[in-house]
Amino acid sequence: MHNTVFLRVYRADCLTEKLNLSSDTCISMVQLSWNKHKHVHFHNTLLAKENKELILYAIVLFVLPLFPLNQLVAGTIINALLIKTAITYKSNKVFLLSIIPSTGALAGGILFSNLASQLILMLPIIWLGNLTIMFLMKSLYTKKGKEFFYSALFSGTAKTILLFSASVFLFSQSLVPVLFLTMFGINQLITAEAGAILVAATNYIAKEIF
């Protein structure tokens, strides 16, 4: 503490001699510089912490589909994590998480087993669907201050319409099985809203405990 004060006064004295300014002016300049330094340091620390947390979320989102979980269970957890990160982190890097879950599912080939080849056709739409729910939750809830469950219902519905429309088109072209109409239809809406409820519940519990 004393060393810091001494350093500031010393720097102010140096500025006074070099620039022929009053001591008070120089001290104010040094104080401003010091505050700016603290702000930059805090920002960098926060950014480093955020990057570590996003990497952890990415690992969980990739690994989770590798386990033979029911689609409704896995989908609920995945949507909860996507919504949680979207409304928690300010950085746009969070949207990169949208491509992780389906990539993990394809890599593992467990959840979709022999449907992996058909899943490839849906990958870009799945990524866009995840991006849609994340972007809309961030936009409606975080930025515009809309009610949480309204934002979740709107975002989940938009994601479901997108995925279901794509699966209907691919099915009409005999490119995917009829199972996809359920997987990327009502199941998507159920897991999206269940994920939102899970986020709301965990946030409430965390608030009550801490």
* pLDDT tens column, 145-188: 999 999 999 999 999 999 999 999 999 999 999 999 999 999 99
Say if residue 9 is exposed, middle or buried (CB neighbours under 10 Å; 0-12, 13-18, 19+).
middle
Q: Which one-letter DSSP state was computed for residue 115?
A: G
Say if residue 50 is exposed, middle or buried (CB neighbours under 10 Å; 0-12, 13-18, 19+).
middle
Q: Which of 186, 208, 206 is nearest to 75 (CA)?
A: 186
Split at pLDDT 50, 70, 90, the class of 8 is very low
pLDDT given at position 102: 87
pLDDT single digits (tens) 185-205: 999 999 999 999 999 999 999
pTM: 0.75
Judged against a pLDDT cut of 60, whether residue 18 lies above it is answered with no
pLDDT, average across residues 8-36: 54
pLDDT single digits (tens) 40-78: 444 455 567 888 899 999 999 999 888 877 889 999 999
Split at pLDDT 50, 70, 90, the class of 30 is low
Cα 208 from Cα 177, distance rounded (Å): 46
pLDDT single digits (tens) 78-129: 999 999 999 999 888 899 999 999 888 777 664 455 666 778 889 999 999 9
Cα 68 from Cα 110, distance rounded (Å): 6
Residues 111, 115, 117: CA angle, nearest 5 degrees: 120
